[in-house]
Structure 1
Amino acid sequence: MSDKFTTIEAQASYGIGRQLGEQLAANSFEGIDISAVQQGLSDAFDGIDCQVPMEELQVAFTEISQRIQKVQEAAAELAAGEGEVFLADNLKRESVVTLESGLQYEIMTEGTGDKPPLDATVRTHYHGTFISGDVFDSSVVRDQPAEFPVSGVIAGWTEALQLMPVGSKWKLYVPHHLAYGERGAGASIPPYSALVFEVELLDIL
Structure 2
Amino acid sequence: MRFGMLAAALLGLAGMQAQAQQAQGQAQLKTEDEKTVYALGLSIGRSIKVFDLSPAEIEIVKKGMTDSLTNAKPAVELDTYGPKLQGLAKARGEKAGQKYLDEAAKEKGAVKLPSGVIYKELKAGTGQSPKATDTVKVNYRGTLTSGVEFDSSYKRGQPAEFPLNGVIPCWTEGVQKMKVGGKAQLVCPAKQAYGEQGSPPTIPPNSTLVFEVELLSIGSDTPRAQPQQPGK
TM range (shorter): 0.5 to 0.7
- State the SS of the aligned residue for 2:213: strand
CA distance, structure 2, for counterparts of residue 110 and residue 127 of structure 1: 18
Q: Does 1:106 align with 2:120?
A: yes
- Coordinate RMSD, CA, aligned: 2.4
- State the SS of the aligned residue for 2:197: coil
- State the SS of the aligned residue for 2:97: helix
2:174 to 131, 140, 160: 160
Larger Cα Rg: Structure 1 or Structure 2?
1
Q: Does 1:141 align with 2:140?
A: no
Structure 1 pair 187–64 and aligned structure 2 pair: CA distance change class (3 A): farther
Structure 1 pair 137–151 and aligned structure 2 pair: CA distance change class (3 A): same
Paired AA for residue 161 in structure 2: E
- State the SS of the aligned residue for 2:143: strand
CA distance, structure 2, for counterparts of residue 154 and residue 66 of structure 1: 36
| Counterparts of residues 1-205 of structure 1 (less than 5 Å) | 29=6, 69-205=83-219
C-alpha displacement of 1:88: 1.0
Task: Write out per-residue CA displacement over residues 58-87 of structure 1, whole angstroms, 9 at most, x where no aligned residue.
Answer: xxxxx9898664222211211111010111
Paired AA for residue 141 in structure 1: K
Structure 1: unaligned runs, 5 residues or longer: 1-24, 33-62
Paired AA for residue 189 in structure 2: P
How many residues of Structure 1 are paired with residues of Structure 2 in the alignment? 151
Structure 2: unaligned runs, 5 residues or longer: 11-76, 220-232
* Normalised TM-score (structure 2): 0.59
C-alpha displacement of 1:188: 1.3
Paired AA for residue 140 in structure 1: Y
